[in-house]
Amino acid sequence: MLSDKNHAKPGTFSEVLYEKIIEVNPGILAMEPYEFRYALNNLEPASGDWSAIVLETMESIEAKVNDVNFYKNIQIKKKDGDRIIFDSAIVSLTNMLLLGIARGEYPIKWVNQHFYFDIRGFYFLHRTHYFTEAAVSHLGGHPFREFEKKQNSFISKQDIGYKEFKEANSEVDQAFISSAKNIIARRGTPCILAIAGPTAAGKTEIVERLRESFEEDGLATTSIELDNFLTDRDYREEKGIHTQGKEALHFNLLLDSLEQISQGKKILIPRYDFVYATSSHDLDGRLKPDGVPVEVEPADIIFIEGNFPFLFAEVARFIHIKVVYLTDDHVRMKRKWKRDIDYRKKYEPTYFRNRFFKDQFIMAQIAYIPQMELCDMLVDTTGAALWVSPQTRARLESSK
């Protein structure tokens, strides 16, 4: 029986697992076995007997983690007294995988195909597969340009900083910047360039690099933040509206704003207060008595950055270049540990772990994959590849 009640005894559960899980994440080698055991103790079954866990079949586990309802039922603020704790479904999945690996019942190849183990969070997360057949077909079946996959150096890391992330992506980023400038030079300005992508994918950084490059060429740039079009949070929560739905936005104001700025006109857009979670505008789109709108001057290049800037057809028709900037979940998780936990002190750590586990699959299905099937260009930083639609490829190749 695999038990971890006697840690000093050779062949205990933690020792067996430690040797095997290195094949799942070689970063485990940076931990001493007793450090690994400390972390494992936080997941130990109440009985202390790991062998009491009932293992599901691999087919059953695959079906579960590919069902959106599994993620919708995750509680991100589950508490034990005043302390936020792991959702029980996350603990159950992680413990099954740990025991299955230790016993040899779940092949490492299968585990790595469907999951990744985050050392700092010390749990398994589902590996989101973004490149659906429809997305690959829309993007011409193969990348436009490919480079060395330098993010492979991140495999053993527990967190990733801005500088090393930027350096790893330098070649594919430059290829994207050059291609975007090529297209804009041919089509003219003003040009609305929208960049969609998951949290911590690197959207803000690439927009800043694009901005610097365009301004060096003498072009004026500006940005429209989609979050400024959010309605009051109380209203959204009362109606049960997901923040990615058009009902959560001052949608008509967004459409009017895009139409006007694409014609070279100055626009006044809503201002969202993230402290009080309120909008400067009421639900009818009128400025509140104490509201102060955001002034956006006309420019040659107008950036729109967010989770879903061209998800809706009514918005997409105003976008001249539609881009998805993608980084795999396991890399983004490590970026968020460094950025949001270490530097920003933004989240309570277990709340963060629950939330990341819950949101990635849902957001991929409702926002990112659909936009991959619509975009003109896709920057896959983890795969170090620039993908473009056949129409975009023709424009780029005709300009050589």
The tens digit of pLDDT for each residue in 87-100 reads 999 999 999 999 99
Q: Topology of domain 131-220+302-400, per CATH?
A: Rossmann fold (3.40.50)
The tens digit of pLDDT for each residue in 226-285 reads 889 999 988 987 876 665 678 889 999 999 999 999 999 999 999 999 888 899 999 999
Please compute the mean of the pLDDT values over residues 208-232 and round it to a whole number.
95
Please compute the mean of the pLDDT values over residues 205-209 and round it to a whole number.
96
- Report whether 244 contacts 311 (CB < 8 A): yes
Residue the block writes with tokens 């009051």: 232
| Domain at 223-298, CATH homologous superfamily | P-loop containing nucleotide triphosphate hydrolases (3.40.50.300)
pLDDT reported for residue 239: 77
Asked whether the bond before 26 is cis by omega within 30 degrees of 0, the reply is no
pLDDT reported for residue 210: 97
Query: Quick one: which of 136, 100, 94, 137 has its CA closest to 115?
Result: 94
The tens digit of pLDDT for each residue in 326-384 reads 999 999 999 999 999 999 999 999 999 999 999 999 999 999 999 999 999 999 999 99
Stated pTM of the model: 0.92
pLDDT reported for residue 9: 45
pLDDT reported for residue 238: 83
Residue 232, CA distances (Å) to 229, 254, 355 in order: 10, 16, 22
pLDDT level of residue 10 (50, 70, 90 thresholds): very low
pLDDT reported for residue 6: 43
Query: Quick one: which of 125, 289, 305 has its CA closest to 198?
Result: 305
- Report whether 378 contacts 196 (CB < 8 A): no
φ/ψ (deg, to 5) at 80:
-120, 95
pLDDT reported for residue 303: 97
In whole angstroms, what is the distance from residue 242 CA to residue 247 CA?
Answer: 8
Please compute the mean of the pLDDT values over residues 214-219 and round it to a whole number.
97
The tens digit of pLDDT for each residue in 90-141 reads 999 999 999 999 999 999 999 999 999 999 999 999 999 999 999 999 999 9
Query: Quick one: which of 399, 365, 367 has its CA closest to 128?
Result: 365
H or E element that contains 173: helix 170-187
pLDDT reported for residue 237: 79
Q: What residue spans in the chain does CATH classification 3.40.50.300 cover? A: 223-298
Residue 263, CA distances (Å) to 36, 194, 218, 251 in order: 59, 17, 20, 19
Is residue 17's pLDDT more than 70? yes
pLDDT reported for residue 240: 67
pLDDT reported for residue 243: 59
Give 29's DSSP letter: G
- 272-273 and 278-279 as β-strands: parallel, antiparallel, unpaired? antiparallel
Please compute the mean of the pLDDT values over residues 174-182 and round it to a whole number.
97
pLDDT reported for residue 5: 47
